[in-house]
């Protein structure tokens, strides 16, 4: 049963990510019949810490507070991707997991869990901007950059910033049931569960690689997303055999021509949903999907949410009229 929660902070902690944990587990909502957690903030680097926002904090507890916690939360902080962490903190986290406690990271707090060896061979996530750094620094992890959080039992990792709310509510739902999680969500004025993952918030999921032989073809493909093309046609434009073209394309972009153009079509659909009032049929035509049904199918597969839901999320109420 989840009763005792500790948030561990380091110098440079991000106030919002710390605040997420404090809001979910550190607020007394007993007037609504909700559980009250024994909650505390603990420091791994002395009683006085600087936040990433520029103000200082006085923290009463040290690492000893982690020894009794059922859940240890590690919020994000400044330069967690490159800094070293106190060995005694990493050992305290390992001890916590060994005795049956859960450990939660919010955004770049995952780098602390990775440094402690708690994610070896496990799935995890982080803010999409840090996904490549995490995967390179810790090749034994299975980084999933498209999701809001990953639950691996004793270790839960969440993506960027507000995804920490999703992960915290997931833990409450798992431990104390959906009614408690829903009531906390209502008090916080947030959805108890969000559709989709963080893929819908990524500006460009497939960053441009250093291309050489297929560069001109990529430009042409991006300008003709509404047309059906084959590998043979693309290879002809690049003056290569289809087999050579497919191999070069994979080497220089990290994906196949089909997947590349499919992703670009989804990206174009996102921009049109955000910035225009065009109907789903019109967007399907402009993006090369042909029909609204095909657009919906590929959009859901890529982003985990529907085009209509995406439009409402990024354009606000009333945007469904255009749908």
| 209 in a structural domain | no
For residue 80, what pLDDT is reported? 93
Map the chain to HEC letters.
CCCEEEEEECCCECHHHHHHHHHHHCCCCHHHCCCCCEEEEEECCCCEEEECCCCEEECCECHHHHHHCCEEEECCECCCCCCCCCHHHHHHHHHHHHCCCEEEEEHHHHHHHHHCCCCCCCEECCCHHHHHHHHHHCCCCEECCCCCEEECCCEEEECCCCHHHHHHHHHHHHHHCHHHHHHHHHHHCCCCCCCCCHHHHCCCCCCCCCCCCCHHHHHHHHHCCCCCCCHHHHHHHCCCCHHHHHHHHHHHHCCCHHHHHHHHHHHHHHHHHHHCCCCHHHHHHHHCCCCHHHHHHHHHHHHCCCHHHHHHHHHCCCHHHHC
Q: How far apart are CA 100 and CA 176, in angstroms?
A: 17
For residue 295, what pLDDT is reported? 95
| 205 in a structural domain | no
**Token couple for 110:** 């995952």
Q: How far apart are CA 270 and CA 283, in angstroms?
A: 10
Q: How far apart are CA 166 and CA 159, in angstroms?
A: 9
10-residue averages of pLDDT along the chain (323 residues): 96 96 96 96 96 95 97 96 96 97 97 97 93 93 89 94 92 92 90 68 50 81 91 93 91 87 90 89 94 94 89 67 47
192 and 221 share one domain:
no
134 and 58 share one domain:
yes
Encode 215-234: b = buried (16+ Cβ within 10 Å), e = exposed: eebbeebeeebeeebeeeeb
For residue 160, what pLDDT is reported? 84
Block residue for tokens 């916690």? 69
Give the range of the structural domain holding residue 288, as residue numbers without chain letter: 215-322
For residue 202, what pLDDT is reported? 56
Number of independent structural domains in the chain: 2
11 and 120 share one domain:
yes
156 and 230 share one domain:
no
227 and 172 share one domain:
no
23 and 49 share one domain:
yes
64 and 89 share one domain:
yes
**Token couple for 237:** 């434009």
HSE of 88, CA atoms in CB hemisphere, 13 A: 11
Domain-ending residue, one of 199, 225, 251: 199
CATH number, domain containing residue 49:
3.40.50.880
CATH number, domain containing residue 300:
1.10.10.60
Question: What are the Cα distances from residue 258, in Å, to 125, 264, 308?
Answer: 26, 10, 25
| 254 in a structural domain | yes
87 and 159 share one domain:
yes
| 147 in a structural domain | yes
Domain-ending residue, one of 175, 199, 223: 199
For residue 35, what pLDDT is reported? 95
């Amino acid at each position: 049963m989840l009763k005792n929660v500790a948030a561990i902070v380091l110098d440079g902690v991000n106030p919002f990510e710390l605040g997420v944990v404090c809001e979910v587990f550190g607020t007394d909502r007993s007037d609504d019949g909700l559980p009250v957690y024994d909650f505390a903030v603990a420091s791994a680097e002395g009683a006085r810490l600087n936040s990433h926002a520029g103000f200082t904090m006085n923290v009463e507890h040290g690492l000893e507070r982690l020894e009794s916690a059922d859940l240890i939360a590690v919020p994000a902080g400044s330069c967690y991707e490159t800094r070293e962490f106190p060995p005694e903190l990493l050992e305290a986290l390992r001890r916590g997991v060994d005795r049956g406690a859960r450990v939660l990271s919010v955004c770049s707090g995952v780098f602390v869990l990775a440094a402690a060896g708690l994610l070896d061979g496990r799935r995890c996530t982080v803010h999409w901007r840090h996904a490549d750094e995490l995967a390179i620094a810790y090749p034994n992890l299975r980084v999933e950059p498209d999701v809001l959080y990953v639950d691996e039992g004793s270790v839960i990792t969440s993506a960027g910033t507000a995804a920490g709310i999703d992960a915290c509510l997931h833990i409450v739902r798992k431990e104390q049931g959906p009614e408690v999680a829903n009531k906390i969500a209502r008090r916080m004025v947030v959805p108890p569960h969000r559709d989709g993952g963080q893929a819908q918030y990524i500006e460009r999921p497939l960053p441009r690689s250093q291309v050489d032989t297929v560069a001109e073809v990529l430009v042409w493909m991006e300008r003709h997303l509404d047309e059906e093309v084959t590998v043979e046609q693309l290879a002809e434009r690049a003056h290569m055999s289809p087999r050579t073209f497919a191999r070069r394309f994979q080497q220089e972009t990290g994906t196949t021509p089909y997947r590349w153009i499919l992703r670009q079509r989804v990206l174009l659909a996102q921009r049109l949903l955000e910035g225009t009032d065009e109907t789903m049929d019109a967007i399907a035509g402009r993006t090369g999907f042909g029909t609204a049904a095909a657009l919906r199918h590929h959009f859901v597969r890529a982003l985990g949410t529907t085009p209509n839901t995406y439009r409402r999320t990024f354009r606000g109420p009333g945007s469904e009229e255009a749908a």
